[in-house]
């Protein structure tokens, strides 16, 4: 099972659309995970239409229309991996301990908000992933997203992708 993990897309505020390379990953993914801050409902509609399966949550910049369609926290079991998705997890200091406490029956927690890529493992074995942002890098050197695979009940092949300038072009 192939996953595409994105967050903080802020479309159309920070980018007119997702970069073409990300839309290409949507086409290849079995599951697309979005950890909030969509900003407008149009991207949700297009991802729902183009994804085999979409798991998403709303973020702090998402208004009533998105909040009516998306949960604050999403849970899914994907081929034996217990996944949770949330937008905010609080400060970096103490994050692993806090999230292990708040998500005890979870193998992988995907989050966003900071636009800072993150990949760590709590003492309990909980894997925490933040894909950064494909459209709003803030103080990061590049726009980013994650891909991963689930095989035999394990999350594998987690790769943080930096979006090159020539890949930022929007696919039509």
Closest C-alpha to 114, from 97, 98, 129, 94: 129
Give the domains, in start order, of the chain with CATH numbers: 2-166 (3.60.21.10)
Q: Alpha-carbon distance 157 to 87, whole Å?
A: 23
Contact residues for 109 (Cβ-Cβ < 8 A; gap 6+): 83, 84, 85, 86, 89, 99, 103, 126, 127, 128, 129
Side-chain half-sphere exposure of 159, counting CA atoms within 13 A:
11
CB atoms within 10 A of CB 161: 20
Residue 171: pLDDT band (50, 70, 90) is very low
Q: 157's torsion region: left (phi>0), alpha (psi -120 to 50) or beta? A: left
pLDDT tens, position by position, 80-133: 999 999 999 999 999 999 999 999 999 999 999 999 999 999 999 999 999 999
Instruction: Tell me what the pLDDT averaged over the chain comes to.
Output: 94
Residue 172: pLDDT band (50, 70, 90) is very low
pTM of the model: 0.94
């Amino acid at each position: 099972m192939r996953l595409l993990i994105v967050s903080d897309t802020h479309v159309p505020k920070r980018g007119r659309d997702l970069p073409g390379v990300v839309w290409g990953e949507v086409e290849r993914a079995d599951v697309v995970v979005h950890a909030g801050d969509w900003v407008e409902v149009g991207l949700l509609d297009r991802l729902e239409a183009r994804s085999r399966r979409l798991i998403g949550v709303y973020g702090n910049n998402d208004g009533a229309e998105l909040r009516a369609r998306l949960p604050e926290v999403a849970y899914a079991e994907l081929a034996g991996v217990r996944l949770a998705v949330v937008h905010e997890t609080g400060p970096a200091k103490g994050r692993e301990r806090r999230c292990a406490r708040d998500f005890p029956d979870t193998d992988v927690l995907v989050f966003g908000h900071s636009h800072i890529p993150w990949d760590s493992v709590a003492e309990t074995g909980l894997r925490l992933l933040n894909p950064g942002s494909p459209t709003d890098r803030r103080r990061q050197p590049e726009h980013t997203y994650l891909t991963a695979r689930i095989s035999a009940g394990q999350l594998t092949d987690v790769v943080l992708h930096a979006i090159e300038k020539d890949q930022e072009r929007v696919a039509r």
